[in-house]
Amino acid sequence: MPTPITASNLSALAGVRHGFFTREGGVSGGIYASLNCGLGSNDERNAVIENRARVARHLGSTHDAVVTVHQCHSADAVIIDGPLTGQLPKADAIVTRIPGLVVGALAADCAPVLFADPEARVAAATHAGWRGAVGGIIEATIVAMESVGGHRSRISAAIGPCINQAAYEVGPEFEAELLARDATNSVYFRAFTIGGRAHFDLPGYIGGRLTRAGIASVEYQSACTSAKDSKFFSYRGSRRRGEPDYGRQISAIVVT
């Protein structure tokens, strides 16, 4: 069965359950072993559905599955009041106040971020790659939570497993873009070799934006997916091995 990573700040909240699920505890095989939750992968659909059902059951869902959206590296957050059917909305954050409805974010090197305001009983799951993070998906999630009764002074957030700086080499145009936006972004870049390309600190950058947003607490549970790709699905890990596709882990949260 799944054994997710949890964050102490979210675990301390009454009426909230969550987990950053690894690739362990599912039924998929081969390159998707074993808890692949990505319906966009080429894995057997029934296996993915069962994996997602296991996640939902682990968190005590009153529904059959975890609700996710069509992630597109945007800064768009959606508020939902029930399971989604048909064509999924394109967005990168899901906010809900519905008890028992598990919402999740998929990732395979990008950063999942889980949010909760226990007093307003609102939770959110966010997918934050560099495009979404730079574009404002973190702030959009918080604003959406506030629109249904949340307050940033009560919101706790945790950043889950994602690619870490040592493994995240980026091009000069990426570094130039972020420095042009804000020169203080230089703290998120480091060259690990003399004359080498810069490496970007994705979880640090996201954590900085969360802190500046003025929420109650921020926690990092951001083990490197690329360095530990036996435990986590990793796009870059799959490319290193020459695999034709890759699975996605899920991070999910629910108000009970």
Residues 177-224 have pLDDT tens digits of 999 999 999 999 999 998 899 999 999 999 999 999 999 999 999 999
Mean pLDDT of the chain: 97
Amino acid at 58: H
Strand partners, 169: 199
- Token readout for 202 is 């994705």
Residue 149: pLDDT band (50, 70, 90) is very high
Domains of the chain are 8-163+218-255 (3.60.140.10)
**pLDDT tens string 101-122:** 999 999 999 999 999 999 999 9
Q: What number of H helices and E strands is found in the chain?
A: 7, 11
Is pLDDT at 64 greater than 90 in this prediction? no
Residue 138: pLDDT band (50, 70, 90) is very high
| Residue 248 phi, psi (nearest 5) | -130, 135
Residue 42: name the closest of 52, 32, 53 by CA: 32
Residue percentage of the chain with pLDDT more than 70: 100
Give the span between the Cα atoms of 103 and 108, in whole angstroms: 17
Give the span between the Cα atoms of 193 and 73, in whole angstroms: 30
pLDDT of residue 175: 96
The 10 Å Cβ neighbour count of residue 185 is 18
Q: What is the pTM of this model?
A: 0.98
Mean pLDDT within 44-50: 98
pLDDT of residue 194: 86
Mean pLDDT within 15-21: 98
Give the span between the Cα atoms of 190 and 170, in whole angstroms: 10
